[in-house]
Structure formats: structure tokens, C-alpha cells
Amino acid sequence: MKIPVPVKSGSIFPWIIRSLLLGCTVGPVIALLTKTVEAATFLRMANPKLLFAIPLGAITTAFLYQKVGPYLKDGSNQVMSMINQGIVDIAHPTSIAYQGDYENHSNKISTKMAPLLLLNTFITHLVGASGGKEGVGVQLGASLGSYLDSLENLLFPQNNTQLKTNKKGVWLISGAGSAFAALFNAPIAGTLFGLQFSSPRVNRTDAILPCFLSSCTACFVSQALHIHTLTPIQAESFPTTVRSLACLTVLSIAVGLTSRLFCFLVHLVKQALKAISPNPILQALICGTLLLCASIGIYLATGSVAYNGLSSSLLTEASLGTSSKAAPLLKLLLTTLTIGSGFVGGEVIPIMVIGSTTGSLFAHYLSLPFSAMAMFGAMGMLSGATKLPFACFVLGLELFGYGDPLTLFFVCCVAYIASGKPGIYENQIAPVSIDESWEV
């Protein structure tokens, strides 16, 4: 579904300026986030006993949210809701829902969100929880877009409520997309992510230019600041045959089902903790203790702490075919318990690690290149978990430099279909949730 929002020629230049400003703001903040995660990881690797502080880290994170504002814990859902509200308003500008939800247009992302996210992400990686950084990065980018929108409204007041609503949505989309782009140095994937992550079926065509310009600018600025981005091994191409397509179909279904399992386990853990106690601090203590026990058990069994933290080294091992056959299960366990414990960071890189090690495992039995199968597994599982097959397809091209787009697109599509409805973004508008009768 595409919402055609006409863009006046006179409005293009202001959005170019806004996009450049947003990109120049998001780039340094993403660089700061990356440096924060690197510093926390360095401290943890230098002091392995910090793993024993996992329960304390979970409790501290929960306490900070309770003290500063419990509503801040659902930052990504708040961003999605604000973007999706704008989509509803564009589709039904005179509906009763639009009039009844008028107060939603004045909602702003709290200025407390950005510093709290940075602090809690530092805690996550300091104690070695199995988290990422892209989830926080997207929230930071969207919050910066919201801040700049509020600043513009303060400096240049507008009376047109519909125009202000549309503009705020573009700010949020561009902020989220540019942050994702800067995290992976992938401006095209960042553009598609920003346009679709809140509602994969709806393309805000009015946000394409601002999101693309801000994504490119954020990538340029962050790279100028010499931040470390994910640099996996380039995937090796191989001939497309009936056999290879059959093998890729099996892998795609497997990682699609794995993404469904991941989402199910995360939901199950959260529901179980709520059933035990409504107190978020007690929930964090219980699940944090389980996470510590699992981390210790994995270390005793494997002699490695690579499954804690980002685990980006496992992506390299998967591409070389040296990752453990138990790696997908171990990373899945730690990531599920990390999310249940309330740690902040993100799920994208851990999901990619689970998918890539699964692909590498299949490569052992299918006699296909490890690097390609690891890439297929990573992008396929990410497609199923995020419900964004197009963004993941482009991300695979930009990250892995893969030379056969047909097979990559095939894997992303099949994995997306096999994953079913569950996804990692709770407030994402699923395709079945959009009324077919909308004429937009």
C-alpha cells in the first residue's frame, strides 16, 4: 500500500536543509553510542568477573526506568505509534478517530530518553548481557528527529495541524532511518528501514528524499568520526541451480521458523515473569540470575564468553565455517534471557548472529560456501524477525557485497513467509491489521 502525499516544489529545499541538519546530528550521536559500547566491552573483556554483575545490571536498569519514567521503556513502541498515527491521519483526515486522537499529535519524545538509553546500553555491555546497539540507535535517531521538530515548531510556529502531523512523521522516519544507516554504514538499507519499520505495508513516499539524504549524511559524518561498524567477510557467490535453490529453500524455512521461535520464547519469558510478580525489579532479578547461570554454564562448556555481548566475532567464525554447531542455540538462549531481564540494546545483531551460525551449520551438510550460507542465514532470519524483507535484502548487499541479488532476495522472501506473523516490533502494523477498504 502506498500513500501518495503530494510534495510542493517549494517544500523540497526546506527538507534538504532539515535532512542535512538531522544527519549531521545523528552521525555524532551514533558515533558516541558505538564508542560507549566499545568502551563497555573493553572493560568487560579486561575484567571477566564483571559477568557476575549481570543480575545487578538488570536490577539497575529496571530501577532507572522506574525512577526516571517507566514509559521510557517502550521508546521504540512510542516512536512506531507516533508514525503510525500519522499514517492513519493521512488515510482518514476527517475521521472520528482523527478528531478523537487530536491530543496524540502533541505527543513528544521525552528529552530524558536519549541519555537514559546511552547509560543503560553501557550497563548492558559492561556486564555482558547478550544485546545489540541498533535498537537503541534507532530510538536515539527518532528522538533527535522529534527534538529538532519541536525546535522548529518553537522557532517557526505553524497553525496547520495536518501539516505539523505529517512533518513530525517525516522527522521520526528520517531520524530512525539515518541512525540505522549510520550503525551499519548502509544508507540505502537505512532509508528502507526508516520508511517501513513501523508499518511494512505502507510507504510514506513523502519521506523518501529526507530519509535518504539524512541517511547518507549520517553515514558520512559517522565514518568521518572513525566509528567501527560491522564488517563481515564478503560472501562468496555460487551458481544458481535447482539443487542450490532447493538447499536455500530449506535454509530459508529453517531460519524463518527460528525467528518465529525466537519471538515466541521472548513473549513466553515476559509472560512467565509477569505471572510470577508484577514488580519489574523482581522480574529483572529473577531473569538476570537465570542469564548469569546460563552464561556461566556456557563458559564452563565452551571455555568462551563470545556468546555474551554483541558476539560479532561469531559472524566471522560462521563465515569461515569454524563456529560451534551449538552456537545458534546458545546465542538464542542468552538473547532471550537478556530481553526478558529488561536489558537495553537491541536484537538485530544477536538475531544476525543466530541466523549466520545456523546458515554455517547447514553449509557443513549442503556443500555450499560457508560465507554465503552465513550471510543467507543472517539476512533470512532478520527478515523474518523484523518483517522487513526489502530492507534486509539491501542490507545484505551493502554489508556482505554479495554478487547474486536473486538468491539473496529469494532467501529473504521465503524466510519472511515462513516466519509467520510474530515479529520483534510489538507496535508494528502487521499486514492483516490494515483495513483493505482504505482508499489511499
pLDDT on residue 172: 92
Q: pLDDT of 157-212, one tens digit each?
A: 876 666 666 788 899 999 999 999 999 999 999 999 999 998 888 778 889 999 99
Residues of the chain with pLDDT under 70: 1-10, 86-108, 159-165, 429-440
Alpha-carbon gap, residue 56 to 77, rounded angstroms: 26
Which one of 3.50.30.50, 1.10.3080.10, 1.10.510.10, 1.10.10.10 gives the CATH number of domain 242-431?
Answer: 1.10.3080.10
Q: What are the pLDDT digits (tens) for 361-385?
A: 999 998 899 999 999 999 999 999 9
Domain-by-domain residue ranges, the chain?
Answer: 12-224, 242-431
For residue 91, what are the contacts with CB-CB under 8 A and spacing of at least 6?
A: 3, 438, 440
- Topology classification of domain 12-224: Clc chloride channel (1.10.3080)
pTM equals 0.90
Which H, E and C letters describe the chain, residue by residue?
A: CEECCCCCHHHHHHHHHHHHHHHHHHHHHHHHHHHHHHHHHHHHHHCHHHHHHHHHHHHHHHHHHHHHCHHHHHHHHHHHHHHHHHHHHHHCCCCHHHHHCHHHHHCCCCCCHHHHHHHHHHHHHHHCCCCCCHHHHHHHHHHHHHHHHHHHHHHCCCCCHHHHHHHHHHHHHHHHHHHHHHHHCCHHHHHHHHHHCCCCCCEEHHHHHHHHHHHHHHHHHHHHCCCCCCCCCCCCCCCCCHHHHHHHHHHHHHHHHHHHHHHHHHHHHHHHHHHHCCCHHHHHHHHHHHHHHHHHHHHHHHCCCCCCCCCHHHHHHHHHCCCCCCHHHHHHHHHHHHHHCCCCCCCHHHHHHHHHHHHHHHHHHHCCCHHHHHHHHHHHHHHHHHCCHHHHHHHHHHHHCCCCHHHHHHHHHHHHHHCCCCCCCCCCCCHHHCCCCCCC
Domains 12-224 and 242-431 alike in fold? yes
